[in-house]
Amino acid sequence: MAKAKNDGVKVVAQNRKARHDYFIEQTYEAGIALVGTEVKSIRQGKVNLRDSYIAIKNGEAILQGMHVTPYEQGNRFNHDPMRNRVLLLHKREINRLEVAASREGMTLIPLDLYLKKGLVKVTVAIAKGKKLYDKRDSEAQRDAKRQMDRALRNRG
Q: Read off the pLDDT of residues 8-48 as tens digits, 9 standing for 90 and up.
A: 899 999 999 898 889 999 999 999 999 888 999 999 999 99
Average pLDDT over the chain, rounded to an integer: 90
Q: Read off the pLDDT of residues 129-142 as tens digits, 9 standing for 90 and up.
A: 888 888 898 889 99
As a 3-state breakdown, the chain gives helix, strand, coil percent values, each rounded to 5, of: 35, 40, 30
Q: In DSSP terms, which residues pair with 30 in a beta bridge?
A: 122
Number of domains in the chain: 1
Please, how many CA atoms are within 13 Å of residue 87, restricted to the half-sphere of its CB? Answer: 31
Task: Write the CATH number for 56.
Answer: 2.40.280.10
Closest CA to 21 of 154, 144, 150, 136: 136
Tell me what pLDDT residue 5 has. Answer: 52
Q: Virtual CA dihedral for 125, 66, 94, 90, nearest 10 degrees?
A: -100
Q: Read off the pLDDT of residues 50-107 as tens digits, 9 standing for 90 and up.
A: 999 999 999 999 999 999 999 888 788 788 899 999 999 999 999 999 999 999 889 9
**Measured between alpha carbons, how far is residue 89 from residues 4, 27, 147 in Å?**
25, 13, 42
CA dist 70 and 109 (Å) reads 23
Q: Containing domain of residue 22, as a range?
A: 3-155
What confidence tier does 6 reach under pLDDT thresholds 50, 70, 90? low
